[in-house]
Amino acid sequence: MADSTLDLLSDLVSKAVKAGADGADAVAVDARSRGVSWREGKLEDVEGSEGQDIGLRVIIGHKQASVSTSDRRADSLRDLVERTVAMAKAVPDDDYCGLAPQNKLHKGPLADLDLYDDTDVSAEKLTELAREAEDATRAVEGVTNSAGAGASAASWAITLATSHGFSGHYQGSSFSVSSSAIAGEGTGMERDYEFTSARHFGDLESAGWVGREAGERAVRRLGPVRMPSGKLPVVFAPRAANSILGHLAGAINGASVARGSSFLKDKMGEQILAPGVTISDDPLRRRGLQSKLFDGEGVRVSKQNLVENGVLKSWLLNAATAKQLGLDVTGHASRGTSSPPGITTSNLYMNAGEMSPEDLMADIKDGLYVTELIGMGVNGVTGDYSRGAAGFRIKNGQLCGPVSEITIASNLKEMFRHLVPASDLEFRYGTNSPTIRIDGMMIAGA
């Protein structure tokens, strides 16, 4: 399968060059998935999908076009080449389009990251897992209903070939189980969730654990109050702290920097986080949920410290933004079949600090522990930050009762400078953070 797909893509780019292209690349994404939903003791839905998409990008001078198809018949692929070349001749110039520099392409064997598990999980097995998760949720005292449970299995293969010498292929898989719980009644109802996901089926947490965690999280949120307004320390649970890394990734995305629309656009080489804080991106993490063997343009990838000891070290760049900024590519190109390369992180994480979460909040006389963030009130140009939040009040270093209907606000530049990570980093998601503390945030409550 891999060799035949590589041959097909190599033939496509060769035909594109013969048809007048200065450069071309082609990507194939072969994917299949299966999932079930279970709600209130009944099977709610069974879904399955299977796709074989191919995308061709053609570059002629300073023009480029991308076209995709799911039809791999010879006449359809000939038409794909003709349409893409014709479109590339007709579109406006793009001074920064082009293939990645040849000297940055991956060469040699690809790493073995064990990303693919060929376990065939049947719809019946997925149903069993979803049922087990919901049963465990509903068994938690205080849970009054279930918002549903689910389980899924997926696999995919990515193949890429370019006209200037790169060809590569790798496979991946993913499995997940989730459950969502409702506790309380009437206007006092609260909802929460839990899930587990992994590259290998055997690495999943048990469905029973997922269900119990979802139920217990929802019950803990019962009876929330609004805490008084003020400027106080805020501690973000890991699940909420991950979003802070997402805001950083958006701010150092080469497209935002090149447009001048990032609040960090002038901060390269400067201290943006507290000394001792390091943020890494590791595409070569074994069984990592976002691992990849090469980027969307065929560029070799490696672990990088984007922020090291608090100092900003790198933008996230693909070939176009690297050319626009006069820098080298960084291996962060992403690729679909119907559009030019974008930019994305891989296994992005904040390195663990030295203190436990308990020690991190031990000296907080009054503060907020955030478990959920609501809304998208973040300005990527100015860094202004304002989001709804829910969680627990901190009194004298201890978590007290639940709180909700709160807004937390600051500016990301200030938040980054005051951020302190705890020691509890776990790799459970695509983006991972330990518990973090940020002092001096404005809390708007009662």
How many residues are there in the chain?
446
Give DSSP secondary structure letters for 129-153. HHHHHHHHHHTSTTEEEEEEEEEEE
Condensed to tens digits (0 to 9), the pLDDT of residues 379-401 reads 999 999 999 999 999 999 999 99
| Residue in the block written with tokens 């590259």 | 199
Query: In degrees, to the nearest 5, what angle opens at C-alpha 43 toward C-alphas 39 and 44?
Result: 65
Domain spans of the chain?
2-219, 224-244+352-444
**pLDDT recorded at residue 282:** 98
**pLDDT recorded at residue 187:** 84
Condensed to tens digits (0 to 9), the pLDDT of residues 71-99 reads 999 999 999 999 999 999 999 999 999 99
Condensed to tens digits (0 to 9), the pLDDT of residues 195-244 reads 999 999 999 999 999 999 999 999 999 999 989 999 999 999 999 999 99
Condensed to tens digits (0 to 9), the pLDDT of residues 299-321 reads 999 999 999 999 999 999 999 99
Return the structure tokens found at 425.
């980093």
- Provide the pLDDT confidence category of residue 445 given band limits of 50, 70 and 90: confident
249 closest CA partner among 398, 42, 432: 432
**Which stretches does DSSP call E strand in 184-327?**
190-198, 230-236, 279-281, 304-308, 311-312
| Statement: residue 377 has pLDDT above 90 | no
Q: Say which residues have a Cβ less than 8 Å from residue 128's Cβ, sequence separation at least 6.
A: none
| Statement: residue 2 has pLDDT above 80 | no
Return the structure tokens found at 267.
């901060």
The CATH architecture assigned to 2-219 reads 2-Layer Sandwich (3.30)
**pLDDT recorded at residue 76:** 95
User: How many Cα atoms occupy the beta-carbon half-sphere of 360 within 13 Å?
Assistant: 26
| Statement: residue 1 has pLDDT above 70 | no
CA distance 168 to 63: 25
Percentage with pLDDT > 70 across the chain: 100
**pLDDT recorded at residue 121:** 97
Burial (CB count within 10 angstroms: exposed 0-12, middle 13-18, buried 19+), residue 436: buried
pTM of the model: 0.95
Return the structure tokens found at 182.
């409702």
